[in-house]
Amino acid sequence: MKTSQFSLSKPVAWCFLLFLTLFAATSRADDTFLGLKVPAQSDGLSEGPTDFHTNLRPIGEVRAVMLFALFPDTTQLEEPQDLYNKLVPEAQAFFERTSYGRMHLKVEMVNRWIPMDHPTTWPGYDCSRFESQRDYLAETIRKAQSEVNFQNYDVVYVVGSLGKGLPNSPTFIAPIGSGIRAGEKEVRLAVTFGRDCRGANWGFQTLCHETGHICGLPDLYLFGVSPKPYKNIHTAVGFWDLMGFQAVASPYLAWQRRKLGWLDDKDFLILPKGSKSSKQWIEPIDRRNGKRPAAVSIPVSDTEAIVCEVRPRDPGDTDPKNTGLLVYRVSMTAASGHGPIQILPAAADDLNPNSERKYITLYNALYINKTHIELSDYSITLDLTGARRADGSLELRIIRK
């Protein structure tokens, strides 16, 4: 039996993530995923297929319970219901919409503060370490056990009260056997919500981001990069996917929706190596009627693909005239936080300081109207023919040289 090891991602900006390393545990060497060969080994969260033995498969009803942990050094007492309202309803709508109705997030709350034994500054609650985050969760779960049957839930959300030592909001993903025993249930999937989820741009978006990790999505912002200026860590995908910069609450990219099981292979036009050109209508990713592909996957190596999808810049923009083509490179072997997805933008930013707060970077990433795109590194040419349907679908010609 393989041994699971824990490693800790660097605490970067607003998100920490404890992830586990399951060497060879997800071996699927014979499989393909959107035209790519699945690596023989899976190393934590990646853009390869998700190991749903460890992560949560977000299909059907996903049941969560939200608990509220009160620390003795609390500086500002909030109402649990207010925090629930900030975090949950818009997240439920996000998942309903982004999953095409395949995921229904149901969150029940224990509407009281659960007193904790120690202050936020106690090292035993350090959520940057797996063991102490587990201890924090375990104490909260133990104190709620008389009123919660944890067997009824897939995920536990714990919101901490505001104190000096309250961290940001890390995800907790434990391999089988390393979680928290709560009666017959082993709690393995949880989020401890911290200071950041009170921010204007970090409420329900934080819940969506961290729940994305629980379902197997990697971080799309960059680890190991100086956050001065802050946009430096968002040069891979900017605001175009909520696993990157959260403020706009952009829905997950098409590739990630395939990972989550919200799109299928048949929803993609896959153009394998050796194939010739193809001309195809691509539907807007958020206005699907399923008659045409939702995206294109063009494998450029065993583990990398160029992906194209059609969407507006703002997720709430329903004007079909505002859709454009988003082009990005996906690597199934790049680790979380190390650029598993890189957008190939149409043009450089022209953001003013106010817009930058919302869009951070890659503002001009969309290709709009008639456009000729040369991806010379990959010997691929993409042509938007200029044809546009009433629903915002765009006609794309792909040429492999």
E strand segments, 71-204: 103-115, 155-160, 171-173, 180-182, 185-187, 189-193
- Of 7-15, 114-122, 145-153, 319-327, the segment contacting Zn ion by CB under 5 A is 7-15
In the block, which residue shows the tokens 């050094």? 73
Closer residue to Zn ion (CB): 13 or 162: 13
Closer residue to Zn ion (CB): 15 or 109: 15
Closer residue to Zn ion (CB): 34 or 217: 217
- Of 9-17, 71-79, 232-240, 306-314, the segment contacting Zn ion by CB under 5 A is 9-17
CB 227 within 8 A of CB 193: no
- Of 106-114, 217-225, 307-315, 387-395, the segment contacting Zn ion by CB under 5 A is 217-225
Of all residues in the shown chain, the one whose CB is closest to Zn ion is 15
- Of 101-109, 151-159, 199-207, 216-224, the segment contacting Zn ion by CB under 5 A is 216-224
- Based on the shown chain and the rule CB under 5 A, indicate whether residue 196 belongs to the binding site for Zn ion: no
Closer residue to Zn ion (CB): 64 or 242: 242
Compute and round to an integer the Cα radius of gyration of the chain: 21
In the window 15-54, what residues touch Zn ion (CB under 5 A)? Answer: 15, 17
Closest contact distance (angstroms) between CB of 55 and Zn ion is 14
Question: What DSSP state is assigned to residue 47?
Answer: S
Q: Which amino acid is at 335?
A: A
Closer residue to Zn ion (CB): 256 or 297: 256
Residues 6+ apart with CB under 8 A from 170: 15, 16, 17, 18, 127, 128, 133, 191, 192, 194, 210
- Of 8-16, 19-27, 76-84, 159-167, the segment contacting Zn ion by CB under 5 A is 8-16
CA–CA dist 260, 242 (Å, integer): 14
Asked if the peptide bond before residue 229 counts as cis, ω within 30 degrees of 0, the response is yes
- Based on the shown chain and the rule CB under 5 A, indicate whether residue 236 belongs to the binding site for Zn ion: no
Closest contact distance (angstroms) between CB of 313 and Zn ion is 23
Residues 6+ apart with CB under 8 A from 90: 203, 204, 249
Closer residue to Zn ion (CB): 297 or 336: 336
Closest contact distance (angstroms) between CB of 16 and Zn ion is 8
Q: Is 367 buried (19+), middle (13-18) or exposed (0-12) by CB count in 10 A?
A: buried
Q: Applying CB under 5 A, what is the total number of residues that bind Zn ion?
A: 3
- In the numeric block, which tokens belong to residue 52? 């749903």
Closest contact distance (angstroms) between CB of 401 and Zn ion is 37
CA–CA dist 266, 268 (Å, integer): 5
- Of 10-18, 63-71, 97-105, 112-120, the segment contacting Zn ion by CB under 5 A is 10-18
Closest contact distance (angstroms) between CB of 379 and Zn ion is 34
- Based on the shown chain and the rule CB under 5 A, indicate whether residue 219 belongs to the binding site for Zn ion: yes
Closer residue to Zn ion (CB): 245 or 281: 245
What are the distances in angstroms from CA 249 to CA 92, 162, 209, 380? Answer: 13, 24, 9, 31
Closest contact distance (angstroms) between CB of 82 and Zn ion is 24
E strand segments, 15-102: 18-21, 32-33, 36-37, 60-70
In the window 272-331, what residues touch Zn ion (CB under 5 A)? Answer: none
Closest contact distance (angstroms) between CB of 213 and Zn ion is 6
Closest contact distance (angstroms) between CB of 157 and Zn ion is 15
At 117, give phi and psi (nearest 5°): -80, -25
Closest contact distance (angstroms) between CB of 15 and Zn ion is 3
Q: At what angle do helices 204-214 and 89-98 cross, to 10 degrees?
A: 50
Beta bridge partners of 284: 310
Binding site residues, Zn ion, CB under 5 A: 15, 17, 219
